Every structure is written in structure tokens, then in C-alpha cells.
Structure 1
Amino acid sequence: MNPLLLDIPLQLETERLILRAPLQTGEGEIVNKAIRDSFHELKAWLSLFQELPTVEETEILLRNAHISFLKRESFRFLIFDKVGGKDVIGTISLHRIDWDIPKGEMGYWMNTKYSGNGYMTEAVKELLNFGLNHLAFKRIEIRCDSSNLKSRSIPEKLGFVLEGTLRNEDLSADGSKLADTCIYSKIN
């Protein structure tokens, strides 16, 4: 089946969270606030956030994510607390999708002020379930810098297999040194 014909929900729910596709005009402002709140931590791990983006740049990023969602190239969701949460807890996505296998890679970042509550583990578990069961993916990967212990703890808690560490495989987020990349996977 052509992936464009797949029925993909615009919202997923867990016990405490709503994962919603970024499709409303103006959401760049609330996502940009989460980036600003977490900039120091995000800058350490993500090359995308070496400079603080403007609200307009964040809005463009979200609109491009929506286009990719519609084209079934990636599925990015904004994470909100079910109980009246207007702040963005973070974002999570399935990207680098290969429909021939089918497989994808999961990525995520979190608003620092919500760290330590298990929200991202809960969101990853839900998106993993969506990918393996709804999309029938045969493989989902999580890749992260080997020194990012917070990010590594999530696939480890959820039973992903550490397939290996690629040494000197990438540059650090700021581009100043070589970094090792851990590859975790779950297969169906």
C-alpha cells in the first residue's frame, strides 16, 4: 500500500499525555518558549539548537513537519500534559522512515522543567506501540550521543537492545569534536 493512503491519527494518548501533530497555525510561539526554557540543555545535544531560533523560524519548522507528516515522510508530535497542560512538554518523532522494510528512527527532546517525571519514557512507549502495531514497522531505532545518559536511559528502560556504539561516527552538537553514537533498536 502506498503510505500516502495510510490513515494516521493526528493525536495519540497515554495515561497522562496527549501527543498531537503540530498543525495549528501559531504553535511556533509555544514550542519556541519550550526551546527557550530548555536551550542550555538542548544546545548540548542537538545541532539544530546551536542558536536560539526565532518564533518565526520555529513556526516554519513546525509547518515543514506538518508537510512531512502529510507526505508520510516523518511523524512529529508535540507532547502535552492531559490535565490542562498548555505548555509543550517536548516533541517526539518517527523519522528516517523506510517504507520498503518498513522501519524508522525515533527522536525526541524535552522541556527541561518537565524532566524527571517519566513523561518522555511514556511518550516513547506510546510512539513505539504506534510504530510497531499501527504502522507494522519491523524495526524502530533510537540513536543518541553515547555521553547523553538521560537520552540513553529511555530505550534502556523500555527494553530496546543496544546494538552497538559507533565510535567517532558523528560530530558533537556544537561541531567541536568527534562523538560516539549508540544505536538502540526494537524489532517486530
Structure 2
Amino acid sequence: MISFENYTLRPLEINDLHAYFNLVERNRKRLEDFFTGTVSRTQDINATELFLKEIIEKRDQKSYYPFVLEAHNTNELVAFIDLKNIDWSIPKAEIGCYTDQKLAGTGLTSKTMKLFLKYCFEYFEFKKIFLRTHYSNKAALALAKNCGFEKEGVIRMDYRTTSGEIVDLQYYGLLNKEIPVATI
């Protein structure tokens, strides 16, 4: 767990079901294009429960790690960060995240991400963390820059959006020796 200011970043648990569903529901429209799995698997509370059980099982298998950012004053989940596409032979992982629309542009995502990246490099001993994003996702591009990621290239025809369009993605990487420092 990582606690700072009024927030705690911690692993997602099954008892987060309703709070997680509410986070997704509040942001569903924003998540449609680039969180296809999340949007399609959380259409109602029962589907969301099954989805959470599956991703928690993947965590137990060390192949996927979901985290949530909880606000202390409301106990509301306000962000989600995950580690996926983990390759333990390197070791490296892809990172993804979204923050509640009401907190967009506040700097909370950058601060949380910097603290989390430090944690990931130390705890999991990753050598590299990468992220993929579409050129239209200005928030993700800014986050990559703010957190010290370097653009490594564009992979063509790399992702299918919820609408079925196959799009190019920009790849950004961060090495453990390039770890950003968060100011708290």
C-alpha cells in the first residue's frame, strides 16, 4: 500500500465490487475506446463481480496486478492502475491507468503514477515498465512525459477499440534506473 495526502493506493479486492463498478460507471464513456475489456466486462454488477474474481485470480497467478486509489475522506475509488503483459524473463510489465473524470487535470494521476512506478521497480524488481497509448489520448501522452517515459516507437495496427477499429499505438518505456521522483 502507498499512502499520501488524502489517498491510499492498494490492491483491488473483491469487496471493492460496488465502489469499482461505480468508478467504471461514472467514467464509462471516457473508457470506451481504450479500456475495451473493462467496459465490456462490467455492464452490470453481476458481470463486474465475475470480472473482478477473474482478475484477482490472475493476480494470484502473478500474471496481472490491479490496484485502486481510494480517497480517505469518502472511501470512494478515484483511480485504477494495473500491471499487465508481464514478462518475468526480462522482467518487465505494461502499465495502464485511468482516473475519475472529476479529478482529471489536478496532477493526482502523475503523483500517484510516480509513487507507484518507484514501488513497482523496488517491489517487483522490474527492469522496464512500458505503456501504450493512442495519439489522441492527450492525458496519457502528458502522463508519460510527466513520469519520465521515453517514446520508443509506434506499433501499427496494434489495438482493437470497443467500436472494432484497429489502431496504431505509441509505445513509451521507462527503465528502473530512470525512476521518477514524486514530490509529496
Higher mean C-alpha displacement, 57-66 vs 166-175: 166-175
RMSD between aligned residues = 1.8
Q: After superposition, give the CA deviation of every residue in 1:106-162 in whole Å (9 maximum; x if it has no partner).
A: 011222122122222122112211121222111100111121111111011111001
Which residue, 63, 88, 91 being the options, matches 1:73? 63
**TM-score normalised over the length of structure 2:** 0.86
Q: After superposition, give the CA deviation of every residue in 1:66-112 in whole Å (9 maximum; x if it has no partner).
A: 22222211211111123x13221121011111111111110112221
1:17 aligns with 2:13: no
Secondary structure at the aligned position of 1:44 is classed as coil
Secondary structure at the aligned position of 1:37 is classed as helix
Q: Is the 8 A contact 1:146 1:182 kept in 2?
A: yes
1:35 aligns with 2:24: yes
Which residue, 132, 138, 149 being the options, matches 1:143? 132
Which residue, 85, 108, 114 being the options, matches 1:119? 108
Unaligned runs of 5+ in 2: 177-184
Q: Is the 8 A contact 1:50 1:174 kept in 2?
A: no
Which residue, 84, 95, 113 being the options, matches 1:106? 95
Amino acid at match of 1:178: I
Amino acid at match of 1:36: E
Deviation, 1:44, is: 3.2
- Following TM superposition, the consecutive aligned residue runs of length 4 or more in structure 1 with deviations greater than 3 angstroms are none
Aligned twin of 1:167: 156
CA distance in 2, matches of 1:85, 1:158: 27
Secondary structure at the aligned position of 2:63 is classed as coil
Unaligned runs of 5+ in 1: 1-10
Q: Compared with structure 1, are the counterparts of its residues 40 and 116 closer, same or farther at alpha carbon in structure 2 (3 Å cutoff)? A: same
- How do 1:40-79 residues align onto structure 2 when only pairs under 5 Å count? 40-48=29-37, 49-50=39-40, 53-79=43-69
**TM-score normalised over the length of structure 1:** 0.84
Amino acid at match of 1:184: Y
CA distance in 2, matches of 1:32, 1:150: 22
Give the fraction of aligned pairs with identical amino acids, expressed as a percent: 22
Secondary structure at the aligned position of 2:126 is classed as coil
Amino acid at match of 1:167: R
Which residue, 85, 88, 96 being the options, matches 2:85? 96
CA distance in 2, matches of 1:107, 1:29: 21
